[in-house]
Amino acid sequence: MAFRVPPLRNVAETAPYFHDHSARSLRRAIWDIALREQGMHLDLAEVTAIGSFLKSLTGKLPASYIKPPVAIETQVKSTSVKPAPAAPPSGEKKKPQALPGK
């Protein structure tokens, strides 16, 4: 099983954090993740250093980063598949088909 992990680009611009929006600031998110996920109690200097790194990932995305979708022309092609046989008129019974190998 594979998980798709969101990128950290512009993470400082996307508050509030977490699925329940419980961290209103990047600093609070850093503290919470350190404690919950790593069992670490960070001091203010460590949180500030991590926050500075994450803020350094902020910037404009290059235009080529997400290219607009290319228009795809769709054409209906004829197929060699035969249509299913029509149902017999009401009142008529279908003839049973022989089973293969019998």
Residue 21 zone, left/alpha/beta (φ > 0; ψ -120 to 50; rest): left
Question: Structural domain tally of the chain?
Answer: 1
Question: What's at 6, amino acid-wise?
Answer: P
Question: Do the domain assignments include residue 71?
Answer: no
Residue 79 included in any domain: no
Interior CA angle at 75 toward 71 and 81, to 5°?
A: 140
Q: Is residue 40 part of a domain?
A: yes
Q: Is residue 68 part of a domain?
A: no
Q: Please indicate, yes or no, if residue 21 is contained in any of the structural domains.
A: yes
Residue 31 forms part of a structural domain: yes
Buried b / exposed e along 1-16 (16+ C-beta atoms within 10 A): eeeeeeeeeebbeeee
Domain-embedded: residue 61: no
Give the domain range for residue 48: 11-55
DSSP-derived letter for residue 49 is H
pLDDT tens profile 22-42: 999 999 999 999 999 999 999
> pTM for the full model?
0.53
Could you read off the pLDDT of 53-95 as tens digits, one per residue? 999 999 887 777 667 777 777 666 666 666 666 666 666 666 6
> Residue 65 and residue 60: Cα distance in Å, rounded?
10
Is 23 inside a domain boundary?
Answer: yes
